């Protein structure tokens, strides 16, 4: 039945409870213990059944209950405290105010684009790690007081929820999100109408309206195309996260990138930085260039300099297959009009997304587009930064991989969102309330040792018990929803043991994460699970208390990932066939809430990816912040953590060619660690029942990992190395009606025309082949600059040890001095060098472009010129 009219009906609250409305609509409640408690206290059942959604709660709670609490002095006092805390929070964000040039503070605006955001349970618009990271980025940007705004899509169905059929095969369900009962605001224009934008698609325009979720001080704006007069297909552009085929993907990415830029403009925002979190949003660069060309009369190259100065790209993928690619014809079909507007030929346009611009067959890569358009590019852990340098090295063909201008900012997690309530209160008490944002090397972290062992251990035992109760209830509810038998239901209440060493494994079921590695040797894992070690049973001495082990497992496979689903089924079958229903539990429908319970309630966090496939990994960081010990392959973040003091490394970072052999070796290493280190340490108790050495390790995990793998640190790094410099570059390029951008574009053109005529003609080296350490060597070069000026280039000596293949490795560049031009018109450069270590050492010369406005001398498309041997 079609309505003739619709109403947006909002909850009616007694006056004394009015502050609840404001509290409900700012996601600050998600990471504020007091406010969360308040909503739980209002109606515990409704809080759970609404998926922790205070807006839905306020809309459906009985008037009688509202009346009751509005006369409850204790409750009202808590409302007041929570309201004051929110007010204080919104006022007191000072990191940015302290660290940023005061003149720039009123102008700076950083737009953060992401295809998904994982903020809280009741906003299921994320699929996994990438989304949760983006959500934590916004939360910490708010904590830090950054002038940041999020840009995304508001999915009607979001990501699927998971259930398993009787055979353990993953099934997907797509619950509909009811935006009107979520903590969302519909943005309106000055006349009170829905704010709308229009985006060009082939043969039509698609309209979108704008929703905002308020994350502390940071607004996240999201586009919604499920409106009239869009056609039914276009309604679905913002329907499902990563759903549909390649064409739908294209529609979504156009909406995110191009629609996102139009939306910011409609909102009256003028970002100084555009941060692309993954390549999905990279079309934003095309729309910005178009806008600058049409509105400010810039040429393509001039506009590109402005965009380049102010764009940041974060890559999250360690394998080429992970990058978003579109066939050239699709790009031209959907975006051919941009080629026209940007005055580019088909091949010039496509070249923006191609590594090898001469390869007319190659598809269009969103990551390549993002890199070519950005002046700051980073991977998400140190190891992933190195891997990315190698992955994208072909964009800088003459550059050693180590100098490819891609850096690393290691991911983090938002402390107040992932540490259990009880543990947060413990930290607040012993470390002071600033622990969640205090950097490493601050004396605050020394106070971790002052937390009494028994208190920390009791907190851990309490979290484990809460996890056990949570798992049982969740399983029972899940079984009841699926029509489970009475005996099944009662079995659910018997899984796990709150006193047993609990190992957690939760992540996307992609095959490289090897969720089933720990089951590789059936006998051995059963011995570990049930403590069937022959040596301890020798002589008929059964240990007084069995040293058992239990596993809690969760995770979704992508709907199209058949091998991933097979791994889930394998686990379910294993549990049944080996009768370990009590020791191994698979929790269906992994989400932020399940993650929070697991990373606080487990004792050990297991991760077994194939190195270097885990770009960063963040669930292990969440665990570490709770004092949970990591047991993991040296990959992603764990590779740079203090893995000896805060957990255990599996292997030593080896890489293997034979995956089966690798599985064998690493499974055995895992079993060895469990048998010889983890289990004995956990069960080594003193007379008070406390495992002192385990607790000491927990304290190290808290002290060392909490400040480091924290989005407070991460967002400060993005601000310091990314946002501040990029904003400054932006201000610089747009001065005087874009004069510097124009100058830079013209200079580059001039440089390009002459670059490949440059020749290093002679190099004189004043030393024999056999020299001593620290012996002075004079180097003199004559260079034909092909019409360029000495200030247009930097000439460098490049020296370093030789490897077995005859290449200089880890070379160090040193600037040569210009000495004027010689009789033949050649430019003369000199330098004095010496080698500080012995062995076979190499020397070379190279030439780089140089200009005060260049963000880096390594420009894609302009090769570094090396001296020929």
Ligand X SMILES: *Cc1c(COP(=O)(O)O)cnc(C)c1O
Instruction: Tell me which residues touch ligand X (CB under 6 A).
Output: 128-129, 132, 507, 590-592, 595, 617-620, 622
Tell me the closest approach of the beta carbon of residue 380 to ligand X, in angstroms.
10
Strand extents, DSSP E, 382-519: 407-408, 501-506
Tell me the closest approach of the beta carbon of residue 481 to ligand X, in angstroms.
20
- The helix/strand count (H/E) of the chain reads as 32, 28
Which residue reads 């949003």 in tokens? 281
611/742 with CB nearer ligand X: 611
709/723 with CB nearer ligand X: 709
37/589 with CB nearer ligand X: 589
Tell me the closest approach of the beta carbon of residue 467 to ligand X, in angstroms.
15
The β-bridge partners of 42 are none
Tell me the closest approach of the beta carbon of residue 797 to ligand X, in angstroms.
43
127/230 with CB nearer ligand X: 127
Spatial distance between the Cα atoms of 838 and 825, rounded to a whole number of angstroms: 38
Tell me the closest approach of the beta carbon of residue 603 to ligand X, in angstroms.
17
Tell me the closest approach of the beta carbon of residue 268 to ligand X, in angstroms.
34
Tell me the closest approach of the beta carbon of residue 297 to ligand X, in angstroms.
46
DSSP assigned state of 710: B
Tell me the closest approach of the beta carbon of residue 130 to ligand X, in angstroms.
8
Contact indicator for 283, 254 with CB cutoff of 8 Å: yes
Planar angle of CA 736, 741, 747, nearest 5 degrees: 125
Tell me the closest approach of the beta carbon of residue 512 to ligand X, in angstroms.
11
Percent helix, percent strand, percent coil in the chain, to nearest 5: 45, 20, 35
Contact indicator for 516, 666 with CB cutoff of 8 Å: no
563/787 with CB nearer ligand X: 563
Neighbours of 417 (CB within 10 A): 24
Contact indicator for 865, 755 with CB cutoff of 8 Å: yes
Q: Pairing state of beta strands 777-784 and 827-833? A: antiparallel
507/699 with CB nearer ligand X: 507
471/595 with CB nearer ligand X: 595
- Secondary structure of 119-140 in HEC code, one letter for each residue: CCCCCCCCCCHHHHHHHHHHHH
Tell me the closest approach of the beta carbon of residue 666 to ligand X, in angstroms.
18
128/860 with CB nearer ligand X: 128
Neighbours of 806 (CB within 10 A): 9
Largest CA distance in the chain: 99
Residues 6 or more apart from 472 whose CB is under 8 A from it? Answer: 492, 493, 494, 495, 496
225/600 with CB nearer ligand X: 600
Buried b (16+ CB within 10 A) or exposed e, 68-88: ebbeeeebeebbeebbebbee
618/700 with CB nearer ligand X: 618
Nearest to 620 by CA among 602, 611, 206, 221: 602
């Amino acid at each position: 039945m079609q309505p003739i009219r619709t109403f947006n009906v909002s909850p009616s609250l007694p006056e004394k409870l009015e502050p609840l409305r404001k509290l409900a609509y700012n996601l600050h409640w998600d990471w504020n213990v007091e406010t969360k408690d308040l909503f739980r206290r209002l109606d515990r059942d409704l809080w759970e059944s609404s998926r922790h959604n205070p807006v839905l709660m306020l809309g459906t709670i009985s008037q009688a209950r509202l009346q009751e609490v509005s006369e409850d002095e204790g409750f009202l006092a808590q409302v007041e405290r929570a309201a004051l805390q929110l007010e204080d929070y919104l006022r007191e964000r000072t990191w940015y105010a302290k660290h940023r040039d005061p003149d720039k503070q009123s102008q700076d605006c950083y737009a953060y684009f992401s295809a998904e955001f994982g903020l809280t349970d009741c906003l299921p618009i994320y699929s996994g790690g990438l989304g949760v990271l983006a959500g934590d980025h916004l939360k910490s940007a708010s904590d830090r007081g950054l002038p940041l705004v999020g840009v995304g899509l508001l999915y009607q169905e979001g990501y699927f929820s998971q259930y398993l059929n009787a055979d353990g095969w993953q099934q997907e369900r797509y619950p509909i999100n009811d935006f009107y009962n979520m903590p969302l605001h519909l943005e309106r224009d000055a006349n009170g109408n829905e704010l709308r934008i229009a985006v060009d698609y082939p043969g039509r325009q698609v309209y979108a309206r704008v929703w905002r979720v308020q994350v502390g001080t940071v607004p996240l704006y999201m586009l919604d195309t499920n409106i009239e007069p869009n056609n039914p297909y276009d309604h679905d552009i913002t329907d499902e996260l990563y759903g549909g085929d390649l064409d739908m993907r294209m529609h979504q990415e156009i909406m995110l990138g191009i629609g996102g830029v139009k939306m910011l403009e409609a909102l009256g925002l003028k970002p100084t930085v555009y941060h692309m979190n993954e390549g999905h949003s990279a079309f934003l660069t095309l729309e910005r260039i178009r806008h600058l060309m049409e509105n400010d009369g810039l040429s393509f190259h001039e506009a590109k300099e402005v965009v380049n100065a102010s764009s940041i790209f974060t890559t999250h993928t360690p394998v080429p297959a992970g990058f978003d690619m579109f066939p050239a014809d699709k790009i031209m079909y959907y975006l051919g009009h941009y080629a026209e507007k940007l005055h580019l030929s088909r091949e010039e346009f496509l070249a923006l997304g191609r590594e090898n611009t001469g390869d007319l067959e190659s598809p269009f890569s969103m990551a390549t587009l993002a890199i070519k358009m950005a002046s700051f590019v980073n991977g998400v852990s140190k190891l992933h930064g190195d891997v990315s340098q190698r992955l994208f090295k072909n964009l800088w063909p003459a550059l050693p991989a180590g100098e490819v201008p891609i850096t690393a900012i290691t991911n983090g997690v938002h402390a107040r969102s992932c540490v259990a309530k009880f543990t947060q209160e413990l930290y607040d008490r012993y470390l002071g309330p600033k622990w969640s944002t205090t950097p490493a090397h601050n004396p605050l972290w020394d106070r971790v040792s002052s937390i009494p062992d028994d208190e920390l251990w009791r907190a851990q035992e309490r979290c484990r018990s809460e996890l056990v109760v949570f798992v049982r209830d969740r399983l029972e509810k899940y079984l009841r929803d699926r029509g489970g038998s009475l005996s099944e239901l009662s079995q659910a209440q018997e899984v796990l043991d709150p006193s047993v060493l609990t190992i957690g494994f939760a992540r996307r079921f992609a095959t490289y994460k090897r969720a089933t590695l720990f089951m590789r040797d059936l006998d051995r894992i059963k011995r570990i699970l049930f403590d069937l070690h022959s040596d301890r049973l020798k002589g008929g001495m059964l240990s007084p208390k069995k040293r058992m082990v239990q596993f809690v497992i969760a995770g979704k496979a992508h709907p199209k990932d058949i091998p991933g689903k097979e791994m889930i089924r394998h686990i379910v079958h294993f549990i049944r066939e080996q009768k370990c229903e009590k020791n191994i539990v698979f929790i269906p429908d992994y989400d932020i809430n399940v993650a929070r319970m697991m990373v606080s309630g487990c004792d050990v966090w297991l991760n077994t990816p194939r190195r270097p496939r885990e770009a960063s990994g963040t669930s292990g960081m969440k665990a570490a912040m709770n004092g949970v010990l990591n047991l993991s392959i040296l990959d992603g973040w764990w590779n740079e953590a203090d893995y000896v003091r805060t957990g255990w490394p599996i292997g030593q970072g080896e890489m293997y060619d034979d995956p089966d052999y690798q599985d064998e070796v690493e499974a055995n290493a895992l079993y060895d660690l469990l048998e010889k280190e983890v289990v004995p340490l956990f069960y080594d108790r003193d007379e008070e029942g406390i495992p002192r050495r385990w607790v000491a390790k927990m304290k190290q995990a808290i002290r060392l990992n909490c400040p480091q793998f924290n989005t407070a640190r991460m967002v400060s790094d993005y601000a310091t190395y990314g946002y501040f410099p990029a904003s400054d570059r932006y201000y610089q390029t747009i001065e005087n009606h874009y004069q510097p951008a124009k100058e830079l574009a013209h200079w580059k053109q001039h440089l390009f025309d002459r670059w490949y005529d440059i020749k290093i003609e002679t190099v004189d080296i004043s030393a024999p082949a056999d020299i001593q350490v620290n012996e002075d060597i004079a180097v003199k070069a004559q260079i034909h600059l092909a019409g360029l000026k000495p200030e247009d280039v930097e000439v460098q000596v490049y020296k370093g040890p030789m490897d077995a293949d005859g290449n200089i490795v880890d070379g160090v560049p040193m600037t040569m001095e210009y000495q004027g031009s010689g009789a033949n018109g050649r430019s003369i450069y000199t330098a004095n060098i010496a080698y500080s270590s012995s062995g076979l050492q190499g020397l070379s010369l190279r030439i780089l472009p140089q200009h005060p406005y260049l963000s880096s001398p390594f420009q894609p498309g302009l090769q570094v010129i090396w001296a020929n041997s």
